[in-house]
Amino acid sequence: MISGSSLILFAAFSVSLCDDGHEMEEFLKREYSLSKPYQGIGVSGSSHWELMGDALVTTDYVRLTPDHQSKQGAVWSRIPCHLRDWELQVHFKVHGQGKKNLNGDGLAVWYTQERMQKGPVFGNRDFFTGLGVFVDTYPNEEKLLEAQRKRYTPRTQRIFPYVLAMVGNGSISYDHERDGRPTELGGCSAMVRNLKHDSFLFIRYVRRRLTIMLDIDGQQEWRDCLDVPGVRLPQGYYFGASAVTGDLSDNHDLISMKLYQLTVLRSKQEDEEQQEVLVPSVDNMELLRPLTDAEGMSSVTVFFSVLFSMLGVFLLLVVGLVLYGHWSESRRKRFY
Ligand SMILES: *[C@@H]1O[C@H](CO)[C@@H](O)[C@H](O)[C@H]1NC(C)=O
Ligand SMILES: [Ca+2]
């Protein structure tokens, strides 16, 4: 069943078209891929993958965390990836006993300079350098605001689980309490918990364009989640995945991570223009954007500001008309 559907996916994607019509070819790169049977993982140095923390491997999946409190686990590739254009297909499963929003905290997929470092970002270190894609299953900000008895504004309301991408340059922090909003590249809601069918996350990086898609409806169809051009990621980083539980928990299981090399035809000029990237960045975007008060205006505030300005203009018009009436009256009186 599982291998069948991934076969279909592979066949469907073995030749595909890029946005601008260029044809691309895909090749599965086994050295960067994690799939059944997970031979030698966590046992010896012979495997391409290394386990960490509470992660464990069974015949059917790599369990990053079990459905217990305060666990964290990860799996990391041992080999840095020097491919320029690639696509990562992540087959995963998040499931547990917790009812809606009484589960946590989620899992992350990484392409970073650092590897095998414990920390607060879904079990991985903060101030990371590279790309993180988070499947965040717990709405921390919403709960925080509720606890502070602040009315929750529509601007910030999001349905969780939420998939979010972030690019770090080593000096910016993931804000866990705010679910990473100040540093997000973009994202989408995704009901990924306790699904009966297989769920997939798809990360494509071609010509510095980052695209994230999901297949979580059991239809073998990819749904767009995020599409950002101008994402500069250095080569030679490591792929990995991590997960964490806190007071609330879930099983975070990885069934496979398959990396495909994409061969993209580039003109000579394009090749020459593309100088090597040393620090991750995104064109025309600050990686950290603290929300100011003005930016934090909710749609309710905007609505009332517009309403009051319109009332103001109307009032001015009325006053103007009244004054004009008085003026013409007194002028008439002067003439008689
Ligand atoms: C990292 O990003 C922040 C925020 O965009 C920026 O202020 C800082 O200079 C960047 N650091 C490096 C090393 O590029
Ligand atoms: Ca969260």
Predicted confidence (pLDDT) per residue in 18-47, tens digit: 444 455 678 999 999 999 999 878 666 668
Does pLDDT of 1 surpass 70? Answer: no
| CB-based contacts of 4, cutoff 8 Å, min separation 6 | none
What is the rounded distance in angstroms from the CA atom of residue 97 to the CA atom of residue 247? 13
How confident is the model at residue 154, as a pLDDT? 53
How confident is the model at residue 330, as a pLDDT? 76
For ion ligand 2, residues whose CB falls within 5 Å:
136, 138, 140, 179
How confident is the model at residue 33, as a pLDDT? 96
Closest ligand by atom to 280 CA = 1
Could you tell me the residue ranges of all domains in the chain? 4-289, 298-336
Cβ 3 under 6 angstroms from ligand 1: no
Poorest-confidence range of 84-98, 200-214, 267-281? 267-281
Chain mean position to CA 146: 24
Task: Work out which ligand 1 atom sits closest to the CA atom of 286.
Answer: 5
Q: Global pTM?
A: 0.81
- Print burial letters for 264-303: b (CB count within 10 Å at least 16), e (below 16): eeeeeeeeeeeeeeeebebeeeebeeeeeeeeeeeeeeee
Tell me: the pLDDT tens digits for 152-208?
665 567 999 999 999 999 999 999 999 999 999 999 999 999 999 999 999 999 999
Task: Work out which ligand 1 atom sits closest to the CA atom of 287.
Answer: 5
What is the rounded distance in angstroms from the CA atom of residue 303 to the CA atom of residue 329? 39
- Give domain 4-289's CATH architecture: Sandwich (2.60)
Pick the residue with more confidence: 139 or 325? 139
The one-letter code for the residue type at 38 is: Y
Average pLDDT score over residue span 68-75: 98
First to last CA, the chain: 99
